[in-house]
Structure 1
Amino acid sequence: MKKGSLSINSENIFPVIKKWLYSDHDIFVRELISNGCDAVTKLKKLSLMGEFDEPDEPYRIDVIASPDNKTLQFIDNGIGMTAEEVEKYINQIAFSGAAAFLEQYKDKATEEQIIGHFGLGFYSAFMVADKVTIESLSYKQDAEPVYWECENGTDFSMDKGDKETRGTVITLYLNEDSYEFANEYRIKEVIDKYCSFMPVEIYFTNADAPAKDEEEKATEAEASEEATAETDETKDAAEKKEKEAPKPLNTTTPLWTKHPNDCTDDEYKDFYHKVFHDYKDPLFWIHLNMDYPFNLKGILYFPKINTQYDNLEGTIKLYNNQVFVADNIKEVIPEFLMLLKGTIDCPDLPLNVSRSALQNDGFVKKISDYITKKVADKLSGMYKIHREDYEKYWDDINPFIKFGCLKDEKFLEKMKDFCIYKNLEGKYLTLPEYLEAGKEKYENKVFYVTDEVAQSQYINMFKEEGMDALIMTQTIDSPFITLLEQKNENVHFYRIDADLSDNFVDESLSEETAKDYTDKLTELFKKALDVENITIKVEALKNKDLSSMLTLSEESRRMQEMMKMYGMAGMGMDPAMFGGKGETLVLNANNNLVKYVLDNPDGENTPTICCQLYDLAVLANRPLSADAMTKFVARSNEILSILAK
């Protein structure tokens, strides 16, 4: 027997492990099962090289939990270890260079995970165990089994073991804070989290599951004999169920490992539902399959999102040789694709010591660029070949595309010609198509709608005049409009209620008369509304039924939105100080109510009509405040009472 103390002060190393991984202490399961997978993979390679004759039994990893004994075992039938290899890989590598390693990382324990470096993946077991044992038998002919034991991460002993089959058994004697991992439900949950797609089958056994005693077996045999009345079909089904072998917890060949031509739509959807627990079908997907200049496989899904209720943050699961690494590592996945859901498996990833963070490396940037290109190619190809499908998906996918254009210059260059917009008739147009169709009426102006209900009055005016506007109702449209203006010289966007186009006005009102009317009505409305700062504009609108409307210059509205976004609203800052014209009440000189006010400035009902005209204009633009709505309802009742007399 060999005994010894670890060559570095363990009271330094294990607190570092535990401190960093305090919130992720279940990660030891991934590390130990990964070690088992590595052991099997090495043996498979030796077999391919002709240095090992594969046995008939399949490769597997077994996880055995004993809730009664508070133990957890990880068993593989891989390459195994000799005593010399245990000495090298467990006793020496982990600690021979650990002094310098600890010196480098001790102050970064909350920044960089250290599991996986200098053999420390195995030592993650001590996060949850007071005592750990290893039983191993190498594949080598005439190898002797070895037994290794370490308690509290301080002193170890190593001796000849009694294991008779090839492979390794690691037994964890769980500490008091970690008994949960002996619970069948809990350990299966962790295996599902980290090991769902590992390349070796993983089986679980509850060592303390109730065993059938002789009396139970006899009772079952007697019941079986009495069941002679059952049909042959029922008997066959029962026998089949009895003989059914236990199923592995993982899938060793996940969908992304297959060639796209070998995958069906149903398989893609089933995989999506299983991995992301989303009951809705994805819109479509992109299967990544690349061997050169780096190895990368994966599937990216465009989910159907309800922007009002769904979380806009997606989930990109990153794998390394089918071993789960992390969710949404931004170095690999472009920020705008974080809205997607998917799996990426890249064995060539330059992971740091933890396997769950990336080194800052030019290679990582190449992967990110490749993924961006594949997404752009898929979308542009759909636009060119399946325009109808592209339009069908547009309302759901446009947040992804617009966000990508805002965040990634290369993606913008690839996608700018494939951005489409719904117009007032519900048809989809590109920006050049919209400008070409309206060049005679509004030249390089692009009108847009942000709220189809609130701006319905303006929409109707546009339709009556044969003018068009684009529907841009999403939050992301505001910065996207700014981007479009930057990238399209001389093109300017105006919300549909920003100003009155000359198309809506007839020429019956002279400039002098309009000024005279404006002066009169400004005075009347100031007095009726009891406000000093109000801008009145009198126009002769073609639609005589339209009495009043509000306009707000595009510049002022954008400034107000910016002030609101940065918390500057309500601080006494007038948007007009930045050059904006502010809000304007437009009154129609061709409307009978406006004419009545002009003809009866001192009339008994004139103040009531002025207030009503203003509120009606506001209602067609935005909701009234609570106080204004109360007054509006009372005034409406008053007007109805007058009419009823």
Structure 2
Amino acid sequence: MSTPETHVFQTEVKQLLKLMIHALYSNKEIFLRELVSNASDALDKLRFEAVSDDALTEGEEELFVQIEFDKDARTITITDNGIGMTRDEVIANIGTIANSGTKKFLEKMSGDQAKDSNLIGQFGVGFYASFIVADQVVLITRKAGSAVTEATKWVSQGEGDFTLETVEKAQKGTQIVLHLKTEMDEFLDEHRLKQIVTTYSDHINFPIKMLKSEWDADAKEMKSTGEFEQVNKATALWTQPKSELTDEEYTNFYQTISHDFNVPLAHMHNKVEGTLEYTSLLYIPKQAPFDLYDRDRRYGLKLYVKRVFIMDDAEQLMPTYMRFVRGVIDSADLPLNVSREILQSNKVVDKIRAASVKRVLDQLAKMSSAEDQTDYTTFWDQFGQVLKEGVVEDFANKDKVAKLLRFASTSNESSAEQRVSLAQYVDRMKPEQTAIYFITADTFAAAKGSPHLEMFRKKDIEVLLLSDRIDEWLVSHLTEFEGKTLKSITSADLSEFAADAEKDLTEETKQAREALTDKVKNALADIVSDVKITHRLTDSPACVVSAAGEMSAHMARMMEQMGQAFPKQKPVLELNPEHALVKQLERLDDADKLKEWSLFLLEQAQLAEGDSLAEPAEFIKRMNKLLSQML
């Protein structure tokens, strides 16, 4: 025994507890699901550790979770004989939230009860759910393999601090005692607690026990027999035949393993037998977690070997672009002592991974081709940017992923929603059209406002409007679809339109235009790589394009924002000879005035493309000077 020490909660924990107690109040029964789930994890970890050290089980034959309540004391007690925690682990796991996404999580909290409860669930702050129903929580835990005198007692009211004390505990594992708030009487009822266990934790792969009650005729009430009975099926859900499982059971299992309150969009349950034996139960969520793009976030599936839990977040079982998938893989062909290092280069894992990826892609293809597109639209809006990474990452499945992609396009410029598939685009192509045209920009507004679209609008040719950050990498790897080349409308090479634009020009007009481009090129010799007459503009005086073989201006801006320095590329300036400002250039013989006007048109075109000018103040001065000359 030791004197209790008082510790102050980490700042983020204080904020989290305050928000949780209010945001999750309408889902207050979730506290039991979270605590039972944590106890199950502790039992899983012990069973795994005991594979190499039998002494950790301390001679016990059965691993279990036990739930008791005391109406007089107004307490609920959850006990497990799992791995337990050391004093340092208690501080690390409960006194702080050891997660790099904590601040991002708190920033996402909005005060919207439904939204916040989903975020909390995704964050997986299970233990803290205790304070939704309790005004004091007492935790006593002893690490398996440690001495009886080395247990740790943790006590808190869920406010600013907690106390720690070294105590004795005869049995390894963890005991949590919840001292209920006055308005939480509903949980001091045997049937209510059993109903929660049956709803959320029936599939837990360990017995969950409660005291058995019988009717006492003399007292005319239910009384405890003093014996514990199992109240859950304790059968791993994924091992049961699909025909015997309901959608509700699949949903409850998903919510338990994912800490997500939503119903999943789809599940895939498969048992493979033959040269390779394993069972997979995979889910496609309905809502993206707040930290989907956090680089430090762990992702992956739960891995079991012969129903023995091995690890959470086994990222080797699913590629990065499918980090949204949740579920379980249970293999009969991996060793029980399998480690992350062994998983890195394992043929069994490679086969399981390939088959799992195929199942997810097939399921998404099924959703995307359904008459009712609601589910796929929901999926795409939540995870579309992540799925786009598959074109870059997964060469073997690039074509399958490409068919699932959706984009905004000029077919509906009033909406930034990405609803157009490449197959739909191809079906709508003009008979003479040979390429799938696209434009990339920083925003949807910038894409649809680009002057490069003018000629395509005139000819009624559809253009994909790409504004996600991943899109530049996407189109650099996805160069064709069903035999059609993907082509940027900002590239210098749009030769398929040049002949049509020049077919009726006289030789005199051609020579005049050549003279114009030559003198503008001389005026801007140090700034541009070339000056050409455009065939892509109808209303704007000029535009800039990337020279053949060079990085697009949009990609260059993105790389610069990421801290990647590249030599400054000289753009190609294209002039619209029918525009009044360009006709003004033709009449200028004064070298200084010619350069002023040429610079003005170049910088105006660069601004239209989203570029930032090196000297914006000089551009304003130049524009004002030119305007004043016209008055």
- Structure 2 length as normaliser, TM-score? 0.57
Alignment correspondent of 2:351: 366
Distance (whole Å) between structure 2 residues aligned to residue 622 and residue 240 of structure 1: 59
Alignment correspondent of 1:253: 203
Deviation at 1:380, TM superposition (A): 2.1
Matched residue type, 1:633: I
Alignment correspondent of 1:514: 510
Deviation at 1:550, TM superposition (A): 1.4
Residue 269 of structure 2 contacts residue 281 of structure 2 at CA under 8 Å; is this kept in 1? Answer: yes
Kindly indicate whether residue 269 of structure 2 is the aligned counterpart of residue 288 of structure 1. Answer: yes
Say which of 146, 149, 154 aligns to 1:172.
146
Query: Among the aligned pairs, what percent are the same residue?
Result: 16
Alignment correspondent of 2:549: 555
Residues 179-238 of structure 1: CA distance to partner in whole angstroms, max 9, x if unpaired? 6x54368xxxxxxxxxxxxxxxx995369x99xxxxxxxxx9xxxxxxxxxxxxx9xx96
Residues 571 and 536 of structure 1, relative CA distance in 2, 3 Å threshold? same
Matched residue type, 2:446: A
Structure 2 counterpart SS, 1:505 = helix
Pairs within 5 Å for 1:20-59: 31-32=45-46
Deviation at 1:273, TM superposition (A): 5.7
Kindly indicate whether residue 466 of structure 2 is the aligned counterpart of residue 485 of structure 1. Answer: no
Kindly indicate whether residue 439 of structure 2 is the aligned counterpart of residue 449 of structure 1. Answer: yes
Structure 1 counterpart SS, 2:411 = coil
Alignment correspondent of 1:505: 501
Say which of 487, 491, 509 aligns to 1:494.
487
Distance (whole Å) between structure 2 residues aligned to residue 608 and residue 329 of structure 1: 61
Alignment correspondent of 2:466: 472
- Structure 1 length as normaliser, TM-score? 0.56
Residues 288-345 of structure 1: CA distance to partner in whole angstroms, max 9, x if unpaired? 24263424142322454499984376722414266543233244334442x2241214
Distance (whole Å) between structure 1 residues aligned to residue 584 and residue 619 of structure 2: 20
Matched residue type, 2:175: T
Uncovered stretches (5+) of structure 1, i.e. residues with no partner: 1-26, 47-57, 65-72, 77-120, 129-168, 186-201, 211-219, 221-233, 576-581
Residue 438 of structure 2 contacts residue 465 of structure 2 at CA under 8 Å; is this kept in 1? Answer: yes
Alignment correspondent of 1:301: 284
Distance (whole Å) between structure 1 residues aligned to residue 311 and residue 559 of structure 2: 33
Deviation at 1:466, TM superposition (A): 0.6
Alignment correspondent of 1:327: 312
Residues 623 and 541 of structure 1, relative CA distance in 2, 3 Å threshold? closer
Alignment correspondent of 1:621: 609
Structure 1 counterpart SS, 2:328 = strand
Residue 532 of structure 2 contacts residue 574 of structure 2 at CA under 8 Å; is this kept in 1? Answer: yes
Deviation at 1:368, TM superposition (A): 1.7
Distance (whole Å) between structure 2 residues aligned to residue 367 and residue 415 of structure 1: 19
Distance (whole Å) between structure 1 residues aligned to residue 626 and residue 458 of structure 2: 30
Structure 2 counterpart SS, 1:172 = coil
Computing the radius of gyration over CA atoms, which structure comes out larger, 1 or 2? 1
Residue 436 of structure 2 contacts residue 463 of structure 2 at CA under 8 Å; is this kept in 1? Answer: yes
Matched residue type, 1:622: G
Residue 257 of structure 1 contacts residue 297 of structure 1 at CA under 8 Å; is this kept in 2? Answer: no
Deviation at 1:600, TM superposition (A): 2.6
Matched residue type, 1:629: P
Residue 296 of structure 1 contacts residue 346 of structure 1 at CA under 8 Å; is this kept in 2? Answer: yes
Pairs within 5 Å for 1:106-125: none
Distance (whole Å) between structure 1 residues aligned to residue 608 and residue 176 of structure 2: 68
Alignment correspondent of 1:425: 411
Residue 544 of structure 2 contacts residue 574 of structure 2 at CA under 8 Å; is this kept in 1? Answer: yes
Kindly indicate whether residue 188 of structure 2 is the aligned counterpart of residue 241 of structure 1. Answer: yes
Residues 325 and 184 of structure 1, relative CA distance in 2, 3 Å threshold? farther
Kindly indicate whether residue 148 of structure 2 is the aligned counterpart of residue 183 of structure 1. Answer: no
Distance (whole Å) between structure 1 residues aligned to residue 265 and residue 249 of structure 2: 13
Uncovered stretches (5+) of structure 2, i.e. residues with no partner: 1-40, 69-78, 90-142, 157-171, 205-236, 413-417
Deviation at 1:487, TM superposition (A): 7.2
Residues 323 and 343 of structure 1, relative CA distance in 2, 3 Å threshold? farther
Distance (whole Å) between structure 1 residues aligned to residue 581 and residue 480 of structure 2: 44
Matched residue type, 1:497: T
Kindly indicate whether residue 608 of structure 2 is the aligned counterpart of residue 634 of structure 1. Answer: no
Residue 271 of structure 2 contacts residue 278 of structure 2 at CA under 8 Å; is this kept in 1? Answer: yes
Residue 454 of structure 2 contacts residue 536 of structure 2 at CA under 8 Å; is this kept in 1? Answer: no
Residue 448 of structure 1 contacts residue 493 of structure 1 at CA under 8 Å; is this kept in 2? Answer: yes
Residue 498 of structure 1 contacts residue 551 of structure 1 at CA under 8 Å; is this kept in 2? Answer: yes
Residue 438 of structure 2 contacts residue 466 of structure 2 at CA under 8 Å; is this kept in 1? Answer: yes
In angstroms, what is the RMSD of aligned CA positions? 5.4
Pairs within 5 Å for 1:335-346: 335-337=320-322, 339-346=323-330
Matched residue type, 2:485: H
Count residues in correspondence. 456
Residues 607 and 268 of structure 1, relative CA distance in 2, 3 Å threshold? farther
Residues 450-483 of structure 1: CA distance to partner in whole angstroms, max 9, x if unpaired? 1243342223432222111223333444444344
Matched residue type, 2:147: Y
Residues 405 and 282 of structure 1, relative CA distance in 2, 3 Å threshold? farther
Distance (whole Å) between structure 2 residues aligned to residue 307 and residue 462 of structure 1: 39
Residue 405 of structure 1 contacts residue 412 of structure 1 at CA under 8 Å; is this kept in 2? Answer: yes
Deviation at 1:428, TM superposition (A): 4.9
Residues 424 and 256 of structure 1, relative CA distance in 2, 3 Å threshold? farther
Residue 267 of structure 2 contacts residue 283 of structure 2 at CA under 8 Å; is this kept in 1? Answer: yes
Residues 304 and 609 of structure 1, relative CA distance in 2, 3 Å threshold? farther
Residues 184 and 458 of structure 1, relative CA distance in 2, 3 Å threshold? same
Residues 564-607 of structure 1: CA distance to partner in whole angstroms, max 9, x if unpaired? 869997565x87xxxxxx63211121111111221132298554
Distance (whole Å) between structure 1 residues aligned to residue 321 and residue 354 of structure 2: 12
Pairs within 5 Å for 1:524-535: 524=520, 526-527=522-523, 531=526, 533-535=528-530
Deviation at 1:377, TM superposition (A): 2.0
Residue 256 of structure 1 contacts residue 299 of structure 1 at CA under 8 Å; is this kept in 2? Answer: no
Distance (whole Å) between structure 1 residues aligned to residue 529 and residue 389 of structure 2: 38
Pairs within 5 Å for 1:7-86: 31-32=45-46, 60-61=64-65, 75=81
